[in-house]
Structure formats: structure tokens, C-alpha cells
């Protein structure tokens, strides 16, 4: 039981997939780490695109207020929310799998 708790802590607190690597599931752990990186980097990319619009709106005189800019950003970058939701889903799966999955 002690091994499962270490795996859960690694998978939940450090990086999803590390718990699986610790338990000996190398393929699953590597795939989870790769997916986590893709999801987070994609979400950051889309979020930075929206931040660029906010910076441009702040520099142009007579620009819309921040509430309008945030609404525009929310409507134009739904992919960032989907990628973050996928990341959190993978994170929850990693913790549950590290806790309940079998040890190799």
C-alpha cells in the first residue's frame, strides 16, 4: 500500500505519468507525460494569443474596455479551455490510476 501512495503523490503533485513510471508502467507513463505537455503547451499558446489582443487594445486610443476585450478573448479562444479541461481530466485519471491500478 505504501508504494501506491508514493505513486499517487508523484502522479498528482509533480506530473501526471510519473506515478505510472514509478509503478513500472513505462508506456502508459510516457504517453501521459507527452499528452500533459501537449495539452499545457497548447493552452499556453492559445492564451498568449489572447493576451496579445489585450496588449494591443490597451495601446490603441479609444479602445474597448477590458471587460469587452476579455469577452472577445473568451469567445475567440475556446481551444485553450478545452485543452485545460483535457489536462485536468488526464491529471485526475493519473491520480486514480496510480492509486487503484495494479503494480507490475
Give pLDDT, residue 64: 64
Domain residue extents for the chain: 2-100
Alpha helix (H) ranges present in the chain?
Answer: 2-9, 18-23, 26-59, 66-76, 78-100
The span from the CA of 13 to the CA of 35, in Å, is 17
Mean pLDDT by 10 residues, the chain (104 residues): 67 81 88 92 84 70 69 76 89 84 68
pTM of the model: 0.73
Amino acid at each position: 500500500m505504501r508504494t501506491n501512495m508514493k505513486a499517487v503523490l508523484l502522479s498528482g503533485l509533480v506530473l501526471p505519468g510519473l506515478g505510472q513510471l514509478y509503478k513500472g508502467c513505462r508506456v502508459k507513463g510516457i504517453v501521459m507525460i507527452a499528452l500533459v505537455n501537449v495539452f499545457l503547451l497548447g493552452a499556453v499558446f492559445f492564451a498568449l494569443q489572447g493576451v496579445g489582443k489585450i496588449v494591443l487594445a490597451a495601446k490603441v486610443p479609444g479602445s474597448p474596455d477590458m471587460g469587452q476585450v476579455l469577452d472577445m478573448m473568451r469567445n475567440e479562444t475556446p481551444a485553450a479551455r478545452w485543452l485545460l479541461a483535457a489536462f485536468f481530466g488526464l491529471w485526475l485519471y493519473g491520480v486514480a490510476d496510480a492509486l487503484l491500478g495494479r503494480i507490475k
